[in-house]
Amino acid sequence: TVVTNDTNIAAGKTYDYVIAGAGLSGLTVGSRLSAKGHSVLIIEAGLDGSWNPAIRYAEDRVFPSTFCNWRYPVYEEDGTQLPWTADAGACIGGSTSINGMVWYRPTKAELDKLESLGNPGWNFDNLLPYMEATERNIPPTPAQIAQGAGNEPEFHGHFGFINTSFPTPMRIPGAVDLYKQALPMVFPGLTPDGDLSNRTFVSMATTIYTIWHDPIAGKNRRSSAADGLVWAPDQQRQTLTILADHKVDKVIFDKRLTAKGLMFLPTISSISSSRPRKGFQVHARRGVILSAGALATPPILERSGIGRADVLKAAKIAKVVDLTGVGANLNDQPGTSALASVAEAYRNDTSLIDADGGKVFAPVIALIKSNELWRADASSNLDGLLSPTTLRARAQAIVKAKAGVNIPGAEAILNATIDLITTHNLPIAEFLSDSITATLLTAFWPLVPLSRGHLHINTSDPFSHPIITPRFLQDSFDISVAISVARAAHSVLSSAPFEGIVADPYLGFAAGPNATDADYLSWYKATMIGASHWLGSTAMLPRRLGGVVDSKLRVYGTKSLYVVDAGILPFQVTSHLMSVLYAVAGRAAVVIDQQN
């Protein structure tokens, strides 16, 4: 595999496939297509970050990352900038170079839902072999098992390119024990301890990460897409070139709207003088694949003239395909965290408190179902989801805000999640338990939000950030989940197992134990940030429902142009994203190859 920053290696050349973005999806697709003998060029806007300890070692992670992070500004609908940024990886490996490394599998029901939305072939059984082929699970040692590591080998792959394991040493095992006692007290019925990839029986577990222990460094190495697919000696390819530090501007089409290549420019970091004006071209024989991520692929499409007509017009871009789904249906989970100060006597107890906390994040994860969150009130809360009238109202609100294309499309997408919650009892909240200096910290979020946002360019300048409007907590269901899970977080930190250990379970929460729902909501809105599981903005759906790509990953209205990244998932999944996305990209390579 050739990795270079040299423009001349690609300018004016022709490859079988050219790919925008060397993140999780671009590297997976590129590696697989080149393994088939195709010549592949991947253009990556960021640099090689593998030298940086903050990328290389889980212990040295910085959160939010100051390196290899686009830190896109995010906005309210009225244009006011929000106080947080949308994080997304900006180096080879993409977001897997800066992410939280949490690994577990999705449920069968949610992947099957992809197919029932009108995407033949995209179901759990077809994706499972790719999930297995991704992972090389390193089983826990007896010492790790004694400290709470659950491992069921049948729910893991063992010969793949991404290492998954428990950290060495295990983090805060004392706090993990307490959380595992306390969580089922607050969420009765929460399935105890085990391996979270066994989603039929387990919904609370010690977390497995995409890491492996490097005995020479004495640290846990991040197993990013770059580590697994670019630098690994057994994954080298004769026909794969990665051009780093160059930004893809737009797609080149011929008169019949067949994608013929990409226009790209050196990024600002690679040139000493002013911003480059001159773009370069690279040509593709078989296809062009956009894998810049849910926040960067829509801007490439829009700069190429594919998108909503009014957006293109405002950005002074000639329309090529009127495709209203581009940049709509944006989804992420709104997260925040509750803090509890730890009593003086326990502040130096390293089995409870990790002064470096938050780097190998969340040693316990619990996925909370509606009956566990709301107990006796669960069915009345869910009833509101089942009425066709409220479904229509939800869809209308999304379409009115231009976060959805049309009512049938918005209804179909919402219904997918609603059915997963009501019929399949999928979890609706995630609870991540951790500690930082002198403090127990639990982060949480509505796991499958119904609210939708959008992102669009407002200029043709490829170096300008898009306008990202997350529209978190717009739907009443998301608000109910957010308030309930925030309240429950304080209940966990106030529960019997923490008595005497916690000094103040309401640290930094002024409204305290008598907080009203309104107090919780305003606190949630003031403190929330995206969980960084952005998806949906180039949804794989039938075109009449607002889809951007079809089930063969072809961009509607064009030929030989594909999208493969988080943007194609129309609704949020309950397993963070990596396990799903590696599988989707693995299968995408086969689907694309079969067409050419």
SS3 per residue for 174-186: HHHHHHHHHHHHH
According to CB under 6 A, which one of 23, 157, 167, 427 is a site residue for ligand FAD? 23
Looking at beta carbons only, is 97 or 370 nearer to ligand FAD?
97
The answer to the question of residue 156 lying near ligand FAD (CB under 6 A) is no
DSSP state of 231: I
**How large is the C-alpha radius of gyration of the chain?**
23
According to CB under 6 A, which one of 131, 204, 263, 292 is a site residue for ligand FAD? 292
Q: Are 325 and 547 in contact (CB under 8 A)?
A: yes
474-533 positions binding ligand FAD, by CB under 6 A: 532-533
The answer to the question of residue 577 lying near ligand FAD (CB under 6 A) is yes
Query: Which SS3 state, helix, strand or coil, does residue 25 take?
Result: helix
Shortest gap between Cβ of 118 and ligand FAD (angstroms)? Answer: 21
Main-chain phi, psi angles of 169, to 5 degrees? -75, 165
Looking at beta carbons only, is 292 or 385 nearer to ligand FAD?
292
According to CB under 6 A, which one of 199, 286, 402, 576 is a site residue for ligand FAD? 576
Region from 163-171, 231-239, 476-484, 570-578 binding ligand FAD, contact rule CB under 6 A:
570-578
Region from 169-177, 290-298, 416-424, 539-547 binding ligand FAD, contact rule CB under 6 A:
290-298
523-552 positions binding ligand FAD, by CB under 6 A: 532-533
Whole-angstrom Cα distance, residue 26 to residue 28? 6
Region from 23-31, 169-177, 415-423, 445-453 binding ligand FAD, contact rule CB under 6 A:
23-31
Helix (H) or strand (E) holding 381: helix 378-386
The answer to the question of residue 304 lying near ligand FAD (CB under 6 A) is no
The answer to the question of residue 457 lying near ligand FAD (CB under 6 A) is no
Give how far the C-alpha of residue 316 lies from the chain's centroid of Cα atoms, to the nearest Å. 31
- With CB atoms as reference, the residue minimizing the distance to ligand FAD is 23
The answer to the question of residue 117 lying near ligand FAD (CB under 6 A) is no
Beta pairing partners, 219: 214
Whole-angstrom Cα distance, residue 506 to residue 323? 48
The answer to the question of residue 566 lying near ligand FAD (CB under 6 A) is yes
Looking at beta carbons only, is 230 or 412 nearer to ligand FAD?
230
The answer to the question of residue 382 lying near ligand FAD (CB under 6 A) is no
**218 token code pair:** 């004495």
Query: Which SS3 state, helix, strand or coil, does residue 476 take?
Result: helix
DSSP state of 350: T
Looking at beta carbons only, is 296 or 306 nearer to ligand FAD?
296
Query: Which SS3 state, helix, strand or coil, does residue 226 take?
Result: helix
Q: Which residues contact 348 (CB under 8 A, 6 or more apart)?
A: none
Rounded-to-5 percentages of helix, strand, coil across the chain: 35, 25, 40
27-46 positions binding ligand FAD, by CB under 6 A: 43-46
The answer to the question of residue 226 lying near ligand FAD (CB under 6 A) is no
Region from 93-101, 416-424, 463-471, 587-595 binding ligand FAD, contact rule CB under 6 A:
93-101
Smallest CA-to-CA distance from 50 within 82, 5, 98, 15 is with: 98
The answer to the question of residue 247 lying near ligand FAD (CB under 6 A) is yes
Report whether the peptide linkage leading into residue 449 is cis, meaning its omega lies within 30 degrees of zero: no
Q: In one letter, which amino acid is 224?
A: S
The answer to the question of residue 111 lying near ligand FAD (CB under 6 A) is no
Q: Residue 44: CA atoms inside 13 Å, Cβ hemisphere, count?
A: 31
Whole-angstrom Cα distance, residue 472 to residue 479? 9
Q: Residue 479: CA atoms inside 13 Å, Cβ hemisphere, count?
A: 13
318-347 positions binding ligand FAD, by CB under 6 A: none
Region from 88-96, 133-141, 232-240, 478-486 binding ligand FAD, contact rule CB under 6 A:
88-96
Looking at beta carbons only, is 20 or 364 nearer to ligand FAD?
20
Which chain residues interact with ligand FAD by CB under 6 A? 20-25, 43-46, 87-90, 94-96, 98-102, 247-248, 291-294, 296, 300, 532-533, 565-566, 576-578, 581
